[in-house]
Homo-oligomer: A and B are copies of this chain.
Amino acid sequence: MIHLPGVPVPLARVIEMLATLPGIGSKTAMRLGLNLLSRPASDSKHLAEALKTLHEEVGFCETCGCFSEQGNCQFCHDVKRDTDVICLVEQPVDVLMMERGHGYRGCYHVLRGRLSPIDGIGPEQLRLTALDRRVEQGINELILATSATVDGEATAHYLANRYQHQDVRISRIARGVPEGGELEYLDEHTLSRALDQRVNWDTAAL
């Protein structure tokens, strides 16, 4: 409960809800609430409508687990996509991030989590049965695009083991210096990995 002396209750309700969002503190929430109040009522109403239908209209693809508006998602539906390549990610949002790059034309599989013994998340909590089926049906490559954290790395290791005897190429997204990264500000782990996994100039210049 935020202390809001003098703030009318209807505005306080909006501010309190906004302050539950990540990265929005009580001051920012107040600024946003006041901004909405100072704008035409239709703006708040449009946002209200969009929020009301959000959960009703956005579901998850039964095949890959991406966001979808009905049944299969746009990626599984897209005949131009290569169904023989599956990029494995942790969350639906990771798919959106991958799509920002414009380069990838394969399909996805969303785990909806990652292995985390501390939080009690084992393989049975992840969307692995669906992935097993897809791998068994035959694919060329499984790209492990879990995050570069301890848990993400452990998840990638687990999956590489799980499918090692299947007839599928298993790859991991590259680790190294991020675009625009200055060596001076990089941590030593990133830098030594970038050195270890250096590629030939012809490949790098691609």
A residues near B (Cβ < 8 Å) are: 4-11, 13-14, 17-18, 20-24, 28, 30-37, 41, 43-58, 66-69, 74-75, 92-93, 95-96, 99-100, 102
Contact A8 B58 (CB under 8 A): yes
How far apart sit A45 and B55, CA to CA, in the bound complex (Å)? Answer: 9
Contact B5 A96 (CB under 8 A): yes
Contact A51 B58 (CB under 8 A): no
How far apart sit A54 and B17, CA to CA, in the bound complex (Å)? Answer: 13
Chain B residues closer than 8 Å to A10, beta-carbon distance? 50, 53-54, 56-58, 69
Contact A14 B54 (CB under 8 A): yes
How far apart sit A48 and B8, CA to CA, in the bound complex (Å)? Answer: 17
Chain B residues closer than 8 Å to A6, beta-carbon distance? 66-67, 74-75, 95-96, 99
How far apart sit A24 and B9, CA to CA, in the bound complex (Å)? Answer: 24
- Least CB separation from A59: chain B residue: B8
New contact pairs (10) apart from A10-B69, A41-B54, A48-B49, CB-CB < 8 Å: A6-B96, A8-B57, A9-B69, A10-B54, A11-B54, A14-B47, A17-B43, A34-B92, A34-B93, A36-B54
